[in-house]
Amino acid sequence: MPTVLLPRSLVSLFPGAPRRCEVEAGSVAEAIDRLDDAAPGMRNRLLDAGPSIRRHINVYVDGAPASLATPLGPDSVVHIIPAVSGG
Amino acid sequence: MTRSLLLVGTTKGAFVFDGDGARKTWSLRGPLCEGWPIHDLQWDPSTRSIYAGGGSAWYGPAVFRSEDLGETWTHSSEGLTYGDDGPKIPTVWNVTPAHGSIFAGVEPAGLFRSDDRGATWRHVEGLREHPSRPGWQPGAGGLICHTIVPHPTDPERMWIAISAVGTFATEDGGATWEARNRGVVDCNSPDPHPETGQCVHKLVMAAGQPDRFYQQNHCGVYRSNDGGHQWEDISKGLVSEFGFVMGAHPRDPATGWVIPLSHPEEGRTAPGGALGVWRTRNGGDSWERHGDGLPQENAFVGVFREAMAVDRLDPVGIFFGTSTGTLYGSVDEGESWSVVAANLPPIWGVEAVVLD
């Protein structure tokens, strides 16, 4: 299953949420849905209207910039990282 | 024994100050709400909950709720959206409990309502359906619904304020809204008396008189005695027409406070570097300046629109925070002041709570 790595500032909003988890997902959008299943409300923190990834949130799949439609393989690693521009 | 709380919203999180009955000694907790920028905190006495509205540049808008005086918090923005095709909402500017519900004013200007203590929200669509909406323009702080004033007994009636659009009122629970800006000058328009466009900065209701309002506007201080249908300028005697905050006495409808700032194109800070709070005892017919305990030279600080609070004790306590992170308090109705805390982040919002 793909692995998702989450920032400390995000998981601190959801007590008990892990920084690293595995999700059953075929795309970034599906991975975020699974995160929201485990921590209701997390989707709203990562996605804006559209839906689109929030402006100051960067998502990478296997080190490359990704979108919601980016496919995930069984060994994919998804990094979700707050942008420097948002601080 | 009476216990006081000060709820302070800043650019870098919320803070709670625990005070004794005399309101002289305060201890600080924070930063809370995970360090999010927090515009406004409000106390809901019916549920003994604190609500905090703000927005993170990373994670968007949310309303936080604490049911244990700020020790632990939950948050939600479920439903706090204009839909996938609508404008994006970056932040919440105001949270106001009323009649068992919670209301939130957001940017871009709109009103949301929660009937489940902030867990989910729904858009009060009638406000943005006002025919003037295509012409709404932002102020320097954005196009923001920053003030919500519920009627004390009638849940169908409410007033809200939007910068730089003006005051609106509903008498049917939010289904329809009426612009109420007659008599308020728009000093940034070729037409000084448009239906909307007046940059109201803060709107308060007089104690015990739900048809009497005061507002600090970009272009003056005003009073209305008829629910906002007609306004009259009460700026005469003030050092400046410009300012953001406005406070109303909890029992005397003729007493209120403002903090005038320098001309909006000349800094928006304490005029001449001398920080003063101005009080009226006669509904704005005249004003008196009080600066005892406040810096009277080289204090080029601002005070933002939600950053003044009035408690309900006798004598009334007044508290305000500055753009430079100093929190001041007065326990003699504004005549003398002392520092509650310094070196906080820039302060956006202050609320005073009295726990019995």
Q: Does A6 touch chain B (CB under 8 A)?
A: no
CATH code that applies to domain A3-86: 3.10.20.30
Cβ-defined contact of B58 to A57 (cutoff 8 Å): yes
Domain ranges (residues) in chain A: 3-86
Provide the pLDDT for residue A3.
98
Share of chain A above pLDDT 70, in %: 99
In chain B, residues with a C-beta closer than 8 Å to the C-beta of A9 are: 34, 58-59
Instruction: Give the span between the Cα atoms of A32 and A42, in whole angstroms.
Output: 8
Provide the pLDDT for residue B188.
86
Provide the pLDDT for residue B1.
74
- In sequence order, the β-bridge partners of residue B330 are B318
pLDDT in tens, chain B (356 residues): 789 999 999 999 999 999 988 999 999 999 999 999 999 999 999 999 999 999 999 999 999 999 999 999 999 999 999 999 999 999 999 999 999 999 999 999 999 999 999 999 999 999 999 999 999 999 888 999 999 999 999 999 999 999 999 999 999 999 999 999 999 999 888 899 999 999 999 999 999 999 999 999 999 999 999 999 999 999 999 999 999 999 999 999 999 999 999 998 889 999 999 999 999 999 999 999 999 999 999 999 999 999 999 999 999 999 999 999 999 999 999 999 999 999 999 999 999 999 98
Cβ-defined contact of B58 to A82 (cutoff 8 Å): yes
Mean pLDDT of A12-16: 95
Contact present, B87 and B108 (Cβ < 8 Å)? yes
Total Cβ atoms within 10 A of residue B25: 11
Whether residue A87 is predicted with pLDDT greater than 80 in this model: the reply is no
A43 CA: distance to closest CA in chain B (Å): 10
The two tokens of residue B22 are 């005399």
Question: What would the DSSP string read from start to end of B129-168?
Answer: TSTTGGG---BTTBSEEEEEEE-SS-TT-EEEEEETTEEE
Provide the pLDDT for residue B228.
98
**What domains can you pick out in chain B, each with its CATH number?**
3-355 (2.130.10.10)
A27 CA: distance to closest CA in chain B (Å): 20
User: B20 to each of B2, B300, B332, B350, how far by Cα in Å?
Assistant: 7, 31, 16, 18
Can you tell me the ipTM of this complex? 0.94
Provide the pLDDT for residue B76.
98
Q: Which one-letter amino acid corresponds to residue B157?
A: R
Which has the closest alpha carbon to B45: B103, B96, B116, B113? B96
Contacts of B305 by beta carbon, 8 Å cutoff, 6+ apart = B141, B146, B147, B201, B202, B216, B244, B245
pTM > 0.80: yes
Q: What's the angle, vertex CA B20, arms to CA B19 and CA B21, rounded to 5?
A: 125
Q: Kind of pairing, strands B220-224 and B232-233?
A: antiparallel
Total Cβ atoms within 10 A of residue B171: 15
User: Which residues of B have a CB under 8 Å from any CB of A?
Assistant: 34, 56-60, 62, 75-78, 80-89
Which of B11, B34, B36, B58 to probe the A interface (max A CBs under 10 A)?
Answer: B58
Cβ-defined contact of B60 to A44 (cutoff 8 Å): yes
A48 CA: distance to closest CA in chain B (Å): 7
For chain A, give percent helix, strand, coil, nearest 5.
25, 30, 45
Contact present, B348 and B9 (Cβ < 8 Å)? yes
User: If you measure CA to CA, which chain B residue comes closest to A12?
Assistant: B34
User: If you measure CA to CA, which chain A residue comes closest to B61?
Assistant: A45
A47 CA: distance to closest CA in chain B (Å): 8
Q: Does A35 touch chain B (CB under 8 A)?
A: no
For B91-114, the pLDDT digits (tens) are 999 999 999 999 999 999 999 999
Cβ-defined contact of B59 to A41 (cutoff 8 Å): no
Q: How confident is the model at residue A85 (pLDDT cuts 50, 70, 90)?
A: confident
Instruction: Give the span between the Cα atoms of B89 and B91, in whole angstroms.
Output: 6
Q: Measured between CB atoms, which of A44, A56, A85 is closest to B77?
A: A44
Instruction: Give the span between the Cα atoms of B276 and B288, in whole angstroms.
Output: 10
In chain A, residues with a C-beta closer than 8 Å to the C-beta of B34 are: 9, 12-13
Q: Which one-letter amino acid corresponds to residue B78?
A: E
Which has the closest alpha carbon to B306: B84, B25, B71, B105? B105
Q: What's the angle, vertex CA B195, arms to CA B189 and CA B197, rounded to 5?
A: 45
Mean pLDDT of A57-75: 98
Q: Kind of pairing, strands A77-82 and A3-5?
A: parallel
Instruction: Give the span between the Cα atoms of B345 and B338, in whole angstroms.
Output: 18
A 38-67 residues with CB below 8 A of B? Answer: 41, 44-46, 48-51, 54-57
Provide the pLDDT for residue B155.
98
Whether residue A11 is predicted with pLDDT greater than 90 in this model: the reply is yes
Q: What's the angle, vertex CA B329, arms to CA B292 and CA B339, rounded to 5?
A: 75
Provide the pLDDT for residue B356.
83
Q: Measured between CB atoms, which of B59, B86, B89 is closest to A10?
A: B59
For chain B, give percent helix, strand, coil, nearest 5.
5, 45, 50
